[in-house]
Amino acid sequence: MTTDFDHIVIGAGISGLGAAHFSARRGLSTLVLESSERIGGCLNSQRFDTLGGFWTEAGGHTCFNSYGNLLSILDDLGLTAQVQPKVKVGYSLWKDGKRRSVASALHLFEAARSIPRIFSAPKIGRSVADYYGSVLGRRNYRDLLRYAFQAVICQPADDYPAEALFRRKPRRKDVIKAFTFADGLSTIPAAIAAQPGIEVRTSQRITAIEADAAGFRVLLEGADPIICGALTLAVPPNAAAALLPPEYTDARALIGGIGMAEFATLVLVFRNTDLDLPPLAGLIAIEDAFYSSVSRDFLPDPSYRGFAFHFRPGVLDAAAQVERACAVLGVAPSRIAAQSLVHNRLPALRYGHTDLVRQLDAALAGTRLGVTGNWFLGVSIEDALTRSRSESDRLFGP
């Protein structure tokens, strides 16, 4: 069988583009197929050309100097020198219709008494509620941490695996601790996709994937099949289970049990002069219709301010979401300069997930099929790229 590409990646989020980057750097011809019209997945800088190109993040919003795999890609692309420092602004709570300090929900005596356990308490195999309630105190978890964690993962956090949240990573001292780019984090997927050796095709409808001893045949709606020697699935678990070739029954059964959390992200932009609100990183909602609001105040603009509200599914309709967000910000909806609504999805992992990944890796061992995504180690950019690199090493050698 003659191959059209050495490697095909299904999915053009950061996981898939990372997998493509790692194979292209090995000199392998690489094709990325994406079902939507846009690349980047959860890296989604909403740009408003009518406002002079002002943008606000509708997905991931921060990179850190502990993101070693991301930084290696930025180094390869010559982007490390272009990182922009984030202005230090803090988060507040939104509780009972008022902005409050994070410290107002913290039980200091309980935290001081519980924190020593963080050095000895096991994390693997425990839920977020169990682990953090133990090491920081049950009341602190009940009144603050539960909401802070669900603000990060945009879903209920109690049953989320503790090991998938805040993994320790070494920091690079030559890079700013927390950074973005002048045009937002969508700079990263755009630069990966533009490099030689990678071809990206959007709006692709894959009907099936067939495997044989020589590689894979990707069947597409309205197009000729494409043949490759190795293939990586970088899509949500439900899509991965549906696309797996028939021979991968064990892998399909394991992946099929992983759920997804749906939520709506409302992006609102206002003129600076229309908001009477001090600069802030965002709001952590306590028992409200939204999980969190993240601002663009970390990279101030002389004319505009932007906010992304991550709403719980099925609580408010689109019009009511706008009303609620404006009420939280203390501004009339008539003052909105621009807005957009994005439907987002994140994996709904549960404790015990690490063992499931071990079983999946065993089912994939020795094959030319890689599976990556933000549903292996955690939802951060670096978690996704760590998985993509390890799968690339498995498929093509370190």
Q: Which helix (H) or strand (E) holds 271?
A: strand 259-271
Residue indicated by tokens 């990707």: 218
Nearest to 9 by CA among 220, 200, 273: 200
- Could you tell me where the beta strands, DSSP code E, fall in 39-90? 45-48, 54-57, 63-64, 84-85
**Which residues does residue 228 pair with via DSSP β-bridges, in sequence order?**
5, 216
Would you state the pLDDT for residue 193?
A: 97
Residue 165, pLDDT score:
86
Q: Which two tokens stand for residue 328?
A: 């939280």
Q: How many Å apart are CA 125 and CA 144, to the nearest integer?
A: 23
Strands 30-33 and 198-201: parallel
Q: Can you tell me the distance from the alpha carbon of 305 to that of 239, in angstroms, rounded to the nearest whole number?
A: 36
Question: What are the φ/ψ torsions at residue 145 (nearest 5 degrees)?
Answer: -65, -35
User: 213 CB contacts (<8 Å, ≥6 apart)?
Assistant: none
pTM: 0.94
Looking only at Cα atoms, what is the longest distance across the chain? 68
- Of 304, 354, 298, 372, the residue nearest 83 (C-alpha): 298
Paired with 218 in beta bridges are 209, 226
Q: What is the DSSP string of 363-377?
A: HHTTSSEEE-STTSS
Domain 5-42+186-258+351-396: state its class.
alpha beta
Given the structure tokens 């997804």, which residue do they identify?
260
Per-residue pLDDT of the chain (398 residues; tens, 9 = 90+): 567 999 999 999 999 999 999 999 999 999 999 999 999 999 999 999 999 999 999 999 999 999 999 999 999 999 999 999 999 999 999 999 999 999 999 998 888 888 777 777 888 888 999 999 998 999 999 999 999 999 999 999 999 999 888 777 889 999 999 999 999 999 999 999 999 999 999 999 999 999 988 899 999 999 999 999 999 999 999 999 999 999 999 999 999 889 999 999 999 999 999 999 999 999 999 999 999 999 999 999 999 999 999 999 999 999 999 999 999 999 999 999 999 999 999 999 987 888 999 999 999 999 999 999 999 998 999 999 999 999 999 999 98
Q: In this predicted structure, what is the pLDDT of residue 274? A: 97
104: alpha, beta or left? (left if phi > 0; alpha if psi -120 to 50):
alpha
Place of tokens 């990556």: 372
Residues 382, 384, 387: CA angle, nearest 5 degrees: 105
For residues 227 and 215, the answer to whether their CB atoms sit within 8 Å is: yes
Structure-token pair, residue 176: 């700013």
What 104-111 contacts at long range (C-beta under 8 Å, 24+ apart), as own/partner pairs, is: 105/143, 105/144, 105/286, 106/140, 106/143, 106/144, 107/137, 107/139, 107/140, 107/143, 110/136, 110/137, 110/138, 110/139, 110/140, 111/136, 111/137, 111/140
**Residue 1 CA, distance from chain mean position:** 37
A 10 A CB-CB count for 204 gives: 20
State residue 2's pLDDT score: 65
Q: Phi-psi bin for 330: left (phi > 0), alpha (psi -120 to 50), beta?
A: left
Token pair of 195 as six digits: 């490099």
Give the SS3 label for residue 392: helix
**CA 23, CA 197: separation in Å to the nearest integer?**
9
Task: Please give the Cα distance from 261 to 280 (Å, whole number).
Answer: 27
Q: Residue 384 has which token pair?
A: 């996704």
Which pLDDT does position 32 carry in this prediction?
Answer: 98
Name the β-bridge partners of 370.
Answer: 232
Looking at residue 272, the DSSP 8-state letter turns out to be G
Say what the pLDDT of residue 1 is: 52
